[in-house]
A and B are shown apart, each in its own frame.
Chain A
Amino acid sequence: MSPDDRRYTKEHEWVMIEDAAAKSAVAGITDFAQDQLGDIVFFELPKVGDSLTHLGKMGEVESVKAVSDLFSPIDGVVTEINEKLLDHPELVNQDPFGEGWLIKATMTDISQLDGLMSASDYDAFTAGPQ
């Protein structure tokens, strides 16, 4: 079960509001995504200050199986990246919803989350045929 304190995209990213007043959010990839990717060996993340576009490419993830694009779940500007992942990408395999977060950002409009999937919708989505 995915945690229900955040929202999800079809591209298997999650996003959670950290501070609604400051429009700040944290984002990562889901447990389903890390399980499909297998052991992750490298992340290419955006830089602090980069603009993000909803479902626009924001980086890459390389696992022992394949290289895949990372898509931003939101519109906004990057305020912080998870530097730990540069040396320890396995954190995302171990704890994708916690220690393995990818980026923090200031959202353009936090109501954008209303258009994303809830945890139960996302779990139903990943249970269906891919």
Chain B
Amino acid sequence: MQQGGNRKTEKLLLERSVPGRVGAVLPDLDVPAQALPDKALLRDELPLPEVSEPEVVQYFTGLSQLNFSIDTHFYPLGSCTMKYNPKINDEVAFQPGFAGIHPLQPIEQSQGALELLHKLQGFLSEITGLPAVGLSTLAGAHGELCGMLMIRAHHLANGDAGRTKVGIPDSAHGTNPASAAMAGFEVVELASDKDGNVDLEALHEIAGPDLAGVMITLPSTLGLFDTNIVEVCRIVHEAGGLVYGDGANMNALLGRVKLGDLGFDVAHLNLHKTFSTPHGGGGPGAGPVCTTSRLAPYLAAPIVTQNGEGYELSTPEKSIGKLSGFHGNFGVLVRAYVYIRTLGGAGIKSISGNAVLNANYMMNALRGVYLLPYDRTCMHEAVFSADWQKDRGASGLEIAKRLLDYGFHAPTMYFPLIVHEALMIEPTESETKETIDSFIQALIDIDREVTENTELVNNAPHTTPVARLDEARAARQPNLRWQPEAAD
């Protein structure tokens, strides 16, 4: 964004190709020449770019400089916890003993790696208050699926096949209903009450013999701690159901609230959010599943167990089976382990303190400028509505686009669905007061621009290489692959 040059007109690498230009010189052949396979298997008209090495380096370096990332910008994308990922995590994960290990290496050669995984299981157990942990699930929604399959297996093992319904609040993460449905359950939406908590009357209505459980995102996507959560767990348990916890927002609770103590039976953590491993652009992630002793036998295989002096991979007694090829995204698990060890207990606790402090500082500074539909102390993020600005001619989308001109990543928009014109802002715990102040000032300035110069906001962004892409056309007629100009 900050680079010069007119990138709108920049050509793709394939379009820079000049016939005969090469980027590499092969050494003389010093082995016997081999016959090529059958000609029918070979294509000699592939449109590969013919470019020099400097062209390749300049091209990709130029593209990388267009990145809007946590290493270049403030990134308050609500619910995504785009906080700083300490470089020491990468340094340790790149150690040859970790980076070069093979998943099929004999167990006796992998004891160090297994010890790390075993200790990580212990840390996550301590953090969640849930005694059993499996690390093999590769993302948050993967952990959700694992947890819901465990709940299903538990009910079936108890002869409770009639428990087919799962209640999910309308303020839950969007993946929750999909995970429950994939695990074979019927999803029932639970309304939020006026404070943003789960509506207890609505919960009582579904708390019967066909209730398998509920999936609760805590704090919710409204950025709020459900103050009835203990009661929610009690009602569900009394009806014979189980409580799943979506721990994607755990940076609000670390070191202060244990999900197990509240009554959760099974929960996943997002190491790629809460424990500072890289994410965005699709991963790799890690969504470990933490659970009670009662559900521990159903965990996905493998888990790491200690056997005398050594460690081994084992399959829990009634395991739902394997959900990934091996034992999870090992490099991500190493990074999360390093993060926890670097911070220690006191540091872990200060994460949640700073996350909640930063979000409330921002929320209070913007109260009265942007509508707060649920105006109470928030957790790690605050959800505003751009309804006041929309009345003056600029919607949440326009405000998000205009923020790019100020050098900030846009917040999450139009989610959760129960807030009109939602702007969901998570400043995260790793930003300074100065950065958050400048972001607050930008939102105040944009609010003024909506009144004084609506067009400026509605035509934003003005400083990015491309501005208003046709999202609807891209979704309706996706063009997923570069194709050469027709030759004939």
Question: What is A's interface to B at a CB cutoff of 8 Å?
Answer: 38-42, 62, 64-66, 89-90, 130
Contact = CB atoms under 8 A, between A and B. Distances in A.
Nearest to A89: B476
A64 B420 contact: no
Interface string B13-34: 0000000000000000000000
A64 B396 CA distance: 14
Nearest to B476: A41
Given A41-B476, A65-B414, 4 more contacts: A41-B475, A42-B476, A66-B415, A66-B417
A40 B472 CA distance: 7
Contacts of B415: 66
A47 B476 CA distance: 21
Contacts of A41: 472, 475-476
Nearest to B472: A39
Contacts of A89: 476
Nearest to A63: B472
B472 A64 contact: yes
Given A41-B476, A89-B476, A130-B420, A66 B414 contact: yes
Interface of B: 413-415, 417, 420, 471-472, 475-476
Contacts of A90: 472, 476
B138 to A, nearest CB: 23
A89 B413 CA distance: 23
Contacts of B420: 130
Nearest to B471: A64
Contacts of B475: 41-42, 62, 64
Nearest to B420: A130
Contacts of A62: 475
3 shortest interchain CB distances as A-B pairs: A39-B472, A41-B475, A65-B414
Contacts of A42: 475-476
A55 to B, nearest CB: 13
B363 to A, nearest CB: 22
Contacts of B417: 66
Interface centre among B417, B420, B475 (most CB of A within 10 A): B475
Contact of A39 (B413, B414, B471): B471
Nearest to A66: B417
B182 to A, nearest CB: 15
A89 B415 CA distance: 23
A41 B476 CA distance: 5
11 contacts: A39-B471, A40-B472, A41-B476, A42-B475, A42-B476, A62-B475, A64-B472, A64-B475, A65-B414, A89-B476, A130-B420
Contacts of B476: 41-42, 89-90
A90 B413 CA distance: 22
A15 B417 CA distance: 25
Nearest to A87: B476
Interface centre among B413, B420, B471 (most CB of A within 10 A): B471
A40 B476 CA distance: 9
A67 to B, nearest CB: 9
Contacts of B413: 65
A90 B414 CA distance: 20
Nearest to A69: B189
A4 B472 CA distance: 31
A89 B476 CA distance: 8
Contacts of A39: 471-472
Nearest to A64: B471
A62 B475 CA distance: 10
B330 to A, nearest CB: 34
Contacts of A64: 471-472, 475
A42 B475 CA distance: 8
A65 B413 CA distance: 8
Contacts of B471: 39, 64
Nearest to B417: A66
Nearest to B174: A66
A130 B419 CA distance: 9
A65 B412 CA distance: 11
B250 to A, nearest CB: 25
Contacts of B414: 38, 65-66
B414 to A, nearest CB: 5
B246 to A, nearest CB: 18
Contacts of A130: 420
A74 B475 CA distance: 31
A129 B417 CA distance: 15
A85 to B, nearest CB: 11
A39 B414 CA distance: 13
A71 to B, nearest CB: 13
